[in-house]
């Protein structure tokens, strides 16, 4: 790379604006692991400007959410090889919460022969996107991010509680779309906007959701990898904004009892690469076979992908009847009770919304899994069930409702593995089985309260 001044001139516009008349001090070289945690190294800017890559062991992708390691003892290939991590400079972005002038850069992982590491989440998503591109199609997504602002919780034995608002009262529940409720979090939201602007991100809107202290941020539609990068960055900047105001931001799927959970709804459309035409809309504005096959693929294959969209035991607490999360894969038009929704739109903006993913999923993997299910439906010409009209909560559940069942379905889904990558599927199952078995060793307060003396 060039010297530091030349290096800064080559950064994206937002990063250059952030550093105007300032000296860049440090670069955070980061990559997403399976849970979506940023792993990497912080290096002096002068050193980064001279380097083309750095190394991390591939074992970071075997690490569980608790910091333990997947059961890889029987895996002869698991010797903690060094990966080569190369920066994608288009992702260079400010880290405006730091004390000095720092930027972050997302890296891609390769082996020593230059092949992509197959279980790196960003590489998994790129593999899926390239399968669309090979057919002349351009997938487009728009994620919605739900999260809670909660009071600082320093003891895991204590229940999570809503944060105190500007009024000095705890955040109120069941105030969806209330502007007064949004104003309660004004200082935190101001910093979220400021951090996002410094990073060059465009927020399409912030709304109060149905839970106490629950907010939603919508992002503008675009390229799946770029949008997954933004969600990855957003989760970090939202946490940092909350910490500035003595509260926590949590993306846990169901942090508070009797409150709705937090989802990452993903809107999908597919464009013709050459013409830019929305392939879900026909010449007369009607819906195409490809549109219905995409929905059919979601209906047929999402049960096997739920272990990716709902990656923790807590994730399944979100799928509760009448709590703003789907319980089945019915599809409907402008119907938020269904797992698959077709929003109101004109033909050019026709899209399909997958409402199954929790906000606790890795954004690269969640989007990759959703696109994979739709692609399988298109390739196999799978047709959906008849459109559901009415309250889909009146229907039966057709998704796994515990982590163990979801993992079994995922482990058996060889067609899905072929899209996501067999080696990714193998490693993901190892890590998630390890997490699930660790959870089963924990005795909960409910068990102690109700079983200790009564059974």
Q: What is the pLDDT of residues 419-454, one digit of tens each?
A: 999 999 999 999 999 999 999 999 988 899 999 999
pLDDT of residue 171: 64
Alpha-carbon span 47 to 143, nearest angstrom? 35
DSSP code per residue over 161-223 = -BPB-TTSSBPPSS-TT-HHHHHHTHHHHHHHHHHHHHHT--EEEEEE-SSTTEEEEEE--B-
pLDDT of residue 281: 95
Contact 63, 162 (CB under 8 A): no
Alpha-carbon dihedral 300, 301, 303, 304, rounded to 10 degrees: 150
Looking at the chain, the whole-number percentage of residues with pLDDT higher than 90 is 72
Query: Is the pLDDT assigned to residue 138 strictly greater than 70?
Result: yes
Alpha-carbon dihedral 426, 431, 433, 434, rounded to 10 degrees: 140
pLDDT of residue 170: 65
Query: Is the pLDDT assigned to residue 74 strictly greater than 50?
Result: no
Radius of gyration from C-alpha coordinates of the chain? 22
Alpha-carbon span 453 to 295, nearest angstrom? 50
Query: Is the pLDDT assigned to residue 401 strictly greater than 80?
Result: yes
pLDDT of residue 187: 87
The two counts, helices (H) then strands (E), for the chain are 13, 14
pLDDT of residue 89: 96
pLDDT of residue 71: 67
Q: What is the pLDDT of residues 220-260, one digit of tens each?
A: 899 999 999 999 999 999 999 999 998 999 999 999 988 88
Query: Is the pLDDT assigned to residue 177 strictly greater than 60?
Result: no
pLDDT of residue 73: 42
- pTM for the model: 0.94
Q: Which two tokens stand for residue 410?
A: 């995922």
Alpha-carbon span 108 to 56, nearest angstrom? 11
Query: Do β-strands 102-110 and 26-32 pair in parallel, antiparallel, or remain unpaired?
Result: parallel
Query: Is the pLDDT assigned to residue 352 strictly greater than 80?
Result: yes
Q: Which of 20-29, 67-76, 206-215 has the lowest mean pLDDT?
A: 67-76
Query: Is the pLDDT assigned to residue 1 strictly greater than 50?
Result: no
pLDDT of residue 167: 65
Angle at 343 between CA 337 and CA 346, to 5 degrees: 160
Query: Is the pLDDT assigned to residue 77 strictly greater than 60?
Result: no
Q: What is the pLDDT of residues 79-125, one digit of tens each?
A: 788 999 999 999 999 999 998 999 999 999 999 999 999 999 999 99
- 201 Cβ partners below 8 Å, 6+ apart? 219, 230, 233, 234
Q: How many CA atoms lie within 13 A of 424 on its CB side?
A: 28
Angle at 362 between CA 303 and CA 61, to 5 degrees: 105
């Amino acid at each position: 790379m060039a010297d530091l001044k030349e290096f800064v001139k080559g950064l994206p516009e937002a990063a250059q604006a952030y550093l105007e008349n300032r000296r860049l001090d440090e670069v955070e070289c980061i990559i997403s692991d399976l849970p979506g945690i940023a792993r990497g190294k912080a290096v002096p800017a002068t050193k980064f400007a001279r380097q083309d890559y750095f190394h991390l062991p591939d074992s970071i992708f075997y690490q569980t959410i608790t910091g333990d390691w997947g059961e890889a003892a029987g895996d002869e290939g698991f010797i903690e090889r060094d990966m080569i991590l190369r920066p994608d400079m288009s992702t260079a972005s400010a880290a405006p919460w730091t004390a000095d002038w720092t930027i972050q850069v997302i890296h891609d992982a390769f082996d020593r022969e230059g092949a992509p590491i197959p279980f790196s989440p960003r590489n998994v998503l790129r593999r899926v996107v390239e399968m669309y591109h090979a057919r002349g199609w351009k997938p487009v997504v728009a994620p919605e991010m739900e999260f809670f602002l909660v009071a600082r919780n320093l003891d895991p034995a204590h229940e999570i509680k809503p944060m105190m608002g500007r009024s000095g009262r705890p955040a109120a529940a069941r105030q969806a779309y209330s502007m007064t409720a949004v104003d309660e979090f004004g200082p935190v939201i101001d910093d979220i906007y400021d951090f996002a602007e410094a990073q060059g991100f465009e927020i399409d809107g912030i709304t109060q959701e149905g839970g106490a202290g629950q907010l939603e941020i919508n992002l503008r539609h675009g390229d799946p990898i770029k949008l997954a990068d933004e969600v990855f960055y957003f989760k970090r900047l939202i946490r940092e904004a909350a910490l500035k105001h003595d509260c926590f931001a949590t993306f846990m799927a169901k942090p508070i009892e009797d409150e709705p959970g937090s989802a990452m709804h993903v809107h999908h459309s597919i464009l013709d690469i050459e013409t830019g035409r929305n392939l879900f809309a026909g010449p007369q504005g009607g819906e195409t076979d490809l549109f219905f096959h995409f929905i059919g693929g979601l209906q047929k294959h999402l049960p096997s992908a739920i272990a990716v969209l709902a990656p923790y035991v807590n994730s399944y607490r979100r799928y509760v009847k009448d709590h703003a999360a789907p319980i089945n894969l019915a599809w409907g038009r402008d119907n938020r009770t269904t797992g698959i929704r077709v929003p109101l739109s004109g033909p050019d903006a026709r899209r399909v919304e997958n409402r199954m993913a929790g906000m606790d999923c890795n954004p690269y993997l969640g989007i990759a899994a959703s696109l994979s299910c739709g692609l399988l439906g298109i390739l196999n010409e799978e047709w959906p069930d008849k459109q559901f009209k009415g309250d889909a909560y009146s229907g039966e559940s057709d998704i796994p409702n515990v982590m163990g069942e979801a993992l079994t379905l995922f482990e058996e889904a060889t067609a899905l593995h072929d899209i996501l990558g067999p080696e990714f599927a193998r490693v993901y199952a190892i890590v998630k089985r390890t997490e699930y078995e660790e959870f089963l060793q924990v005795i909960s307060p409910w068990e102690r309260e109700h079983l200790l003396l009564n059974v």
